[in-house]
Structures are given as C-alpha cells and as structure tokens.
Chain A
Amino acid sequence: MAIIEMNNLWKEYGDQVVLERLDAEVQEGEFVTLVGASGCGKTTFLKMLLGTESPSRGELLLDGAPIPDQPDETRGIVFQRYSVLPHLSALENVMLADELHRHKLIGRAFGGKRKALKDAAMAMLESVGLAQAADKYPHQLSGGMQQRLAIAQALMKRPRILLLDEPFGALDPGIRRDMHHLVLDLWRQQGLTIFMVTHDLAEGFYLGTRLWVFDKTRLDPQAPGAYGARITYDLPVGDCDKGTLTAIQAQADATARTMA
C-alpha cells in the first residue's frame, strides 16, 4: 500500500486557491523533490504533510488513513532555519527525542539511562560528522553543521517520513554537496520516505527518485489567486533529458513573472 495518497486534494484560503486537484501516490522509500515558482504551494503542501495545515477538500492519506492534523513523531522535519534548539548543546539536541520518550513528566533522563541515551546520540552525531562538536551550542556551529545537527536530531525519532523545507537554501555550494551526500546516505541506510522542497531545480533532479513540479496550469494575470497550482510534472528522476529540464525551468520562470 502507498504510504502517502492524495485524492482530489485542494487547499484554499478564502477565495485564494493555492492547490487544486492533486492526485498522486507515494510508495515507502521514495525520495520526492518538490520544485516550482514561489507561491505555487510547495511549502503549503509540505505543511499539510506535517499537519500544521489541513486540506480544504479531498483526501490526504497516510497509510490509508487521514493524515493527523497536528505534527507528531511519524513525520520528521528539517526547516531552513530555527530547526535546532539554541539552548541545548549539539549532544542534548540529539538526545532530546529519547529523553522525551523515556520520561513523559520531566522530559529528562538521569544516571544509567542517561548514559545509554548519550551513547546512542553520540553514535548519531558521529554518523553526521559532528562528534567533535557534541558540547557546542548551535550558535557556535556553522550553517552547514547546524543543518547536519537538525537532520541528526530528527532522525533519532526514526520517523518513517522526513520532510525537508529548503534545508540547504542558505548554505554555500561546497557545503551543499557534502549535505547531499549525507542525505542520500541516510536515506538509503534508514529506508526513509523523503519529501524535499527546493528552489534549485538541479538539486531536485540530482537528489530525488521522483521530481514533482508545482505550477499553475491556468493563470489569470488579473487574479493570480483564482486558480491553484497542480503537479504539472511527475518524473522518475534519471528518466529525463536536458530538454525537459530547460522546458520546466522556462515554464516556472514564466509563472513567477506573472505572479510577481
């Protein structure tokens, strides 16, 4: 069975239609990248997966049941910024998920239990290359290290679905490439299903197993909000030529100009 299923999914705010008539299925283990012009509903769609926004019409199913309407541990998230907690050291950030699980009332572990949690967290930090920075606070880490930490923190909960909202948008190109390797490694090792929003079409092509382009098929220049975006391309990545890439880019640019 598909892990995520959409049936005639709409999202509207008043008379502004953001997304309309989305129909798709995603199988466990897929890596879906979401691209498109700004304002075409990529982030709104991610928020519906996260549970902070609800569908206006239609169905969004997780394992065949309506997706929970608030965030929970089935779906991990990494934002572009503010993902890690600034008042905790790197190690404490990674330990947090287990601590919350162990002690519902105080959300902290002590003694021998703490030692076990610490070892697990250290192993995770090591796998994202942050073992040296375990005792540092986030503000002492570079942007790339903070995002590694955010991924490590999210993965400690072993979510089945990982949502990435432009996680590398603020990083330098060299760092981005390192992060790509890291994400691909973790995805393969842990059998995750990943949804990643990106502005960078090339990144979308490189990383995903499947690329979704969000775009408006009907566009009224007088009322950009009258029609919603749809998934205009649903490509298995690797199965496309340079012409497709150029065509998608041109179409996205045209939409962006009209909406600006």
Chain B
Amino acid sequence: MKKLINRHPGPVATWALGLLPFALLLVVYLLASDARLEANPNDKLLPSFSAMGDAIQRMAFEPSKRSGEYLLWADTLASLTRLAIGVGISALMGLIFGIVTGTLPYARAGLSPLITGLSLVPPMAILPILFILFGLGELAKVMLIIIGITPFLIRDLQQRAREIPAEQVIKMQTLGANTWQIILRLVWPQIMPRLISAVRLSLGSAWLFLIAAEAIAATEGLGYRIFLVRRYLSMDVILPYVLWITLLAFAIDFLLARYSRWRYPWFHGSH
C-alpha cells in the first residue's frame, strides 16, 4: 500500500474531484432554497433556479419596461467600457512610468518615493475627495480604477524593468545603442508580456473599484444594478449578475493569457 502522499489521482479522478465541491455547493443551495420556498413561496433570499432563469430571460432578452433597453447588455457594456478605459489608461501609465523609473536612475530617484507614497493611499478612503474633484460622472469612476491600480502597475513594472539582466543593457551599448534605443529595442519589448501579467493580477482590484464606484453613483452598470436591486432583495437578479461578473473576469483573464502566449512566445518559453 502506497503512502497517501505518494498517491496521485488519474485524469478522470482529477476532474471528478475538481467538480465535486461545485456539485456539493449546488446541492446544498438547492436543498436550502427548496426548504425556504416551501415555507414561503414568495421568498426572495434563495430563489429557485427557474426564478433565476426567468430573471436572466427578463434582464437579457426582453426590453425593459421603463427604458426599452436590454438591461444586462446595457449594464455589461457600460461596465466593460469603464473597465477598459480605466485599465487601459493605467496600463499605459504603468508602462511609461515603469520603464522610465526602472531604466533611468535619475527618474527613479525623483519619482520612486512619490509613487511608493501614492501606492500606500487606500483608494476607497479618498473616494469622497475623488467625487468632489471629478464629480459623480464617468470620470470619477474611471479615476477610481486608475488611482486604485496604477501605482501597483508602475511599481511592478519598475521592478520588472530593473530585473532585465545588466548583461543585456551592456550588450546593447556595445552594439552602439543610445539610451533611447535601449528603451525602445530592449526594455519596452521585454516589459510588454510582463505588463500583461501585471494587468491580469490587477484586474481583480479593478473590478472591485469599478463596482464600488458604480454602487455609489450611476445610471447603469453591473455594480449599479446589483446595488439597486439589493434594495428590494432581488436575489434572483443578484446571483446571476455575480456569476456573470465572475464569468467576464475569467474570460478577460483567459484572453489576456492566450494573447500573451501567442504574441510573446519567447517569454513563455523561457519562464
């Protein structure tokens, strides 16, 4: 008999074991939901799957009675637009400042303490200031994402730029490169796949800030809808929305990972 520590599940068993917790959760939910619905058919806390199906049907495939919009898609578009602008601007700033501070000692000396300081400010704590500075419109929501993740991106990419082996920087110089060319042909291309990794890591926070901003003031968006229907305890809408956000987050992460493998094979081959 092999020791437990030396026993490995086969491929089928691995899948089965992986799915088991999900199946258990589902069963627990179904039992609890049935029990509550039996006591009170109008119960809103643990809606049945058919109620959630109806809610999805209503939110996604029927125009809203009030505005005529397909709410799920309108919310998704609004949220993804904010997320894309916020993360896009953050990534661009992270790239520029990360490269500059990671490559040029003078820039690092001048900017690093400021960036470190900024990265320690909890973004949610300055939310009231943000709203006063930028209003309650789209700008404040995007700014919250930017303020929330840019310092992390800059610091991470600065670190990654500094990790480029000194040998390669010297090699570039012996090939006649000036500072600008070293950045353009050595640092920038090598930082790009690392930027994608850093963005993948920061997406969780970006979603958090997006939903927080939408909960506070908005007219549409995934976070807005969840916090609106929370007011009358519409779990049949909230639960599918949470699943949908999870799915979107997973899909974005998956696509970024795939893109990085396709576009930067050298990075994934040597790591």
Contact = CB atoms under 8 A, between A and B. Distances in A.
Interface of A: 50, 52, 70-73, 75-77, 79, 81-87, 96-97, 99-101, 104-108, 137-140, 153-154, 156-157, 159
Interface string B43-70: 0000000000000000000000000000
Given A79-B167, A106-B184, A73 B269 contact: no
Interface stretch (B80-88, B129-137, B172-180): B172-180
Nearest to B165: A82
Contacts of A84: 171
B204 interface: no
Given A79-B167, A85-B186, A139 B175 contact: no
Interface of B: 165, 167-168, 170-178, 180-181, 184-186, 189-190, 264-267, 269-270
Given A86-B266, A140-B269, A107 B174 contact: no
A86 B190 CA distance: 8
Nearest to A105: B180
Contacts of A156: 175
A104 B185 CA distance: 11
B174 A138 contact: no
Contacts, number: 83
B131 to A, nearest CB: 43
Interchain residue pairs A-B with the least CB separation, the first 10: A71-B173, A139-B270, A82-B165, A82-B167, A73-B176, A137-B266, A107-B181, A97-B175, A139-B269, A107-B185
A138 B271 CA distance: 13
Given A50-B170, A96-B185, A87 B266 contact: yes
A52 B185 contact: no
Contacts of B265: 137
26 contacts: A52-B170, A71-B170, A71-B173, A72-B176, A73-B174, A83-B167, A83-B168, A85-B168, A85-B190, A86-B190, A87-B266, A87-B267, A96-B175, A97-B176, A100-B177, A100-B185, A104-B178, A105-B180, A106-B184, A107-B177, A107-B184, A137-B269, A153-B171, A154-B174, A156-B175, A157-B174
B181 A138 contact: no
A72 B173 contact: yes
Given A82-B165, A83-B171, A85-B186, 5 more contacts: A79-B167, A100-B175, A107-B181, A137-B269, A159-B174
Contacts of A83: 167-168, 171
Most buried by A among B173, B189, B265, B270: B173
Contacts of A85: 168, 171-172, 186, 190
A73 B167 contact: no
A71 B174 contact: yes
Given A71-B170, A77-B170, A77-B171, A101 B266 contact: no
A77 B269 CA distance: 25
Nearest to B180: A105
A99 B176 CA distance: 10
A156 B147 CA distance: 46
A128 B204 CA distance: 49
A146 to B, nearest CB: 11
A87 B190 contact: yes
B185 A77 contact: no
A75 B173 CA distance: 10
Contacts of B264: 87
Nearest to B164: A82
